[in-house]
């Protein structure tokens, strides 16, 4: 694909360099070679722009110097995503149809162009929309519904009565609809509370590998439209996550907590149960959220506080050893100045 064609795809303008060179590869700016396209989205990599051997670079508006062809776009990172989609369209290497080893139950509805790989189990009353691909060793429980054009990778378990929207991607090892962690204590014994609710996954959600999304005890656990979950995330029973929220790996959300829309959650963040998180919030890695917080603010630390306040507290903590030393020195000086007074006080 020529540079001029890429510029049209990303809605950019070529500010310098040849427009007719063929692009066949993508690479980081510091290691890209001839025939590759790369991007500049972070000022720390500006030093590589002059010396890069890439044939084309996606850059933001500004004055740039490079031997490569420069394609000017408002958002180089997003434009690079468009380039990747154009050069390397997603293809799923599994033929259409149901493999003969698949076990299917009664009253199963399977749409056109569906592919189900070897050793899958599809229980009674399951509905699978057109264009969906299900890779080997996947289990789909009775009464579950899966929308159109979904991709479900190997070894995924979707329990009974789960509702999954269109264009959902679920990576290997994930379990959807496992029982919520609900037990009633009585006389020193924990008695299991039947988890009879469901899980709803809305359209355009992507769920990473080895995630666990628990069904509600009553009602539903809901993952909103466009949510992106990294690997190893725990979503407890009756949690609600708003549209277009992103959550990084090893985070956990306790039961009945409501996460707003467009929330950004770093890795290893923990939320207690029964709280509400406002729209547009951002949480730094390893934050511990112990109470409801308003939206459109940045939080970090444990317990999670607004980020600027947390930085001040951390800066103060680093000074504590010196402050303690100074206080002891002052105490010793006071004792030396008034020994009789201190003896009487003791």
- pLDDT band for position 6 (cuts 50, 70, 90): very high
Query: Which residue's entry shows tokens 């050069």?
Result: 87
The pLDDT of residue 184 is above 80: yes
Using alpha carbons, list the distances in angstroms from residue 6 to 32, 80, 130: 17, 10, 31
Rounded distance, CA 3 to CA 244, Å? 32
Q: What is the pTM of this model?
A: 0.87
Average pLDDT over residues 63-69: 92
CA 65 from chain centre, in angstroms, equals 35
Using alpha carbons, list the distances in angstroms from residue 205 to 141, 187, 198: 20, 43, 17
Other Cβ atoms less than 10 A from the Cβ of 259: the count is: 26
The pLDDT of residue 203 is above 60: yes
pLDDT recorded at residue 342 = 54
pLDDT recorded at residue 19 = 85
For the segment 11-51, what is each residue's pLDDT rounded down to a tens digit? 999 998 888 899 999 999 999 999 999 999 998 999 999 99
pLDDT recorded at residue 346 = 55
Count how many residues are written for the chain. 346
Sequential DSSP letters for 179-223: PP--EEEETTEEEEPP---EEEE-TT-EE-TT-EEEPPSSSEEEE
Q: Which of 237, 274, 341, 342 is catalytic?
A: 237
For the segment 273-327, what is each residue's pLDDT rounded down to a tens digit? 999 999 999 999 999 999 999 999 999 999 999 988 888 888 888 888 889 999 9
Reduced to 3 states, what is the DSSP secondary structure of residue 5?
Answer: helix
For the segment 250-280, what is each residue's pLDDT rounded down to a tens digit? 999 999 999 999 999 999 999 999 999 999 9
| Cα distance between the two ends of the chain | 86
DSSP classification of residue 300: E
Decide if 232 contacts 250 (C-beta within 8 A). yes
CA 120 from chain centre, in angstroms, equals 27
Tokens, residue 215: 């069904």
pLDDT recorded at residue 18 = 83
By DSSP bridging, strand 109-110 and strand 127-128 are parallel
CA-CA-CA-CA dihedral for 94, 95, 96, 98, to nearest 10: -80
* 134-145: b (≥16 Cβ within 10 Å) or e: bbbbbbbbbbbb
On the 0-12 / 13-18 / 19+ scale of CB atoms within 10 A, 327 is exposed
For the segment 78-136, what is each residue's pLDDT rounded down to a tens digit? 999 999 999 998 777 788 899 999 999 999 999 999 999 999 999 999 999 999 999 99
Cβ neighbours for 341, distance < 8 A, ≥ 6 positions apart: none
The pLDDT of residue 341 is above 70: no
Annotation says 237 is catalytic: yes
The pLDDT of residue 339 is above 70: no
Average pLDDT over residues 66-85: 95
Using alpha carbons, list the distances in angstroms from residue 41 to 65, 75, 77, 86: 15, 8, 6, 19
Reading across the β-sheet that carries 103-104, which strands appear in turn? Answer: 103-104, 121-122, 139-140, 157-158, 175-178, 212-214, 234-235, 252-253, 270-271, 288-289
pLDDT recorded at residue 344 = 58
The pLDDT of residue 345 is above 70: no
313 or 249, higher pLDDT: 249
State the average pLDDT for the chain.
94
Cα Rg of the chain (Å, integer):
28
Which domains can be identified in the chain, with CATH numbers? 3-87 (3.40.1390.10)
């Amino acid at each position: 694909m020529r540079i001029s064609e890429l510029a049209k795809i990303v809605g950019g303008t070529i500010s310098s360099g040849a427009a007719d060179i063929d692009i066949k590869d993508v690479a980081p700016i510091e290691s890209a070679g001839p025939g590759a396209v790369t991007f500049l989205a972070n000022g720390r990599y500006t030093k590589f722009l002059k010396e890069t051997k890439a044939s084309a670079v996606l850059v933001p508006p500004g004055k740039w110097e490079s031997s490569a062809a420069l394609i000017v776009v408002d958002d180089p990172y997003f434009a690079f995503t468009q380039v990747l989609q154009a050069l390397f369209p997603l293809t799923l290497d599994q033929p259409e149809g149901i493999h003969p080893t698949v076990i299917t139950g009664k009253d199963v509805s399977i749409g056109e162009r569906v592919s189900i790989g070897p050793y899958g189990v599809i229980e009674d009353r399951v509905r699978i929309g057109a264009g969906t691909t299900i890779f080997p060793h996947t289990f789909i429980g009775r009464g579950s519904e899966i929308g159109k054009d979904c991709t479900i990778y190997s070894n995924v378990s979707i329990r009974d009565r789960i509702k999954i929207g269109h264009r959902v991607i679920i990576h290997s090892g994930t379990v959807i609809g496992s029982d919520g962690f609900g037990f009633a204590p009585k006389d020193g014994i924990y008695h299991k509370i039947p988890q009879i609710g469901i899980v709803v996954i809305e359209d355009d959600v992507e769920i990473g590998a080895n995630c666990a999304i628990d069904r509600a005890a009553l009602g539903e656990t809901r993952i909103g439209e466009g949510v992106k979950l990294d690997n190893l995330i725990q979503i407890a029973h009756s949690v609600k996550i708003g549209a277009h929220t992103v959550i990084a790996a090893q985070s956990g959300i306790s039961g009945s907590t409501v996460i707003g829309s467009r929330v950004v959650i770093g890795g290893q963040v923990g939320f207690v149960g029964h709280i509400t998180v406002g729209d547009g919030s951002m949480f730094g890695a390893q934050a511990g959220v112990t109470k409801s917080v308003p939206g459109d603010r940045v939080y970090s630390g444990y317990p999670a506080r607004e980020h600027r306040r947390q930085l001040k507290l951390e800066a103060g903590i680093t000074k504590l050893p010196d402050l303690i030393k100074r206080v002891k020195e002052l105490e010793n000086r006071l004792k030396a100045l008034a020994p009789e007074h201190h003896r009487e006080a003791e």
